[in-house]
Amino acid sequence: MGIEIERKFLIKNEEWKNAIDEKIELKQGYLNSIPERTVRVRIKGDKGYLTIKGKSKGASRAEYEYEIPLIDARELIGLCEKPVIEKIRFIVKENNKIWEIDVFDGENKGLIVAEVELENENDAIQLPNWIGKEVTQEPKYYNSNLVKHPFCKW
């Protein structure tokens, strides 16, 4: 079984922009977004993915991701719940960790969330000075919930 262990944080300043290693455009939608399981379709650059995730338990949850043909991903996005999530992901390597900073667009414009994946939920991490409040266990920041309750309506 695939397990994703991830912590999420808000950003408190723009210093992360000085350390960007990569920029990726993402578009993703949810075929199913109930808390017990989500089924996500994602277009990442020129590749498509189908991802099934289980319910979060702390910072962990089951995750299965499969590459699918780009044309299928584009068609499946049309079947997804609205709005579709649009964001640019910036990769920043700092303190021996890979940080993914998602800058949202569309109905979630203005929201910026940093994520870091861990090997173990209890791993100690040194937080960069641009990291703010931890929101790992706050469901309103889950991408699947941003479809139902976009940032522009908070």
How far apart CA 126 and CA 118 sit, in angstroms, is 12
What is the per-residue pLDDT across 23-55, written as a single tens digit (0 to 9) for each?
999 999 999 988 899 999 999 999 999 999 998
Catalytic residue among 30, 49, 64, 66: 30
Annotation says 64 is catalytic? no
Q: Extract the tokens encoding 91.
A: 């990769």
Q: How far apart are CA 5 and CA 24, in angstroms?
A: 21
**pTM summary value:** 0.92
Q: Can you list the domains of the chain with their CATH numbers?
A: 3-153 (2.40.320.10)
pLDDT in tens, 1-19: 588 889 999 999 999 999 9
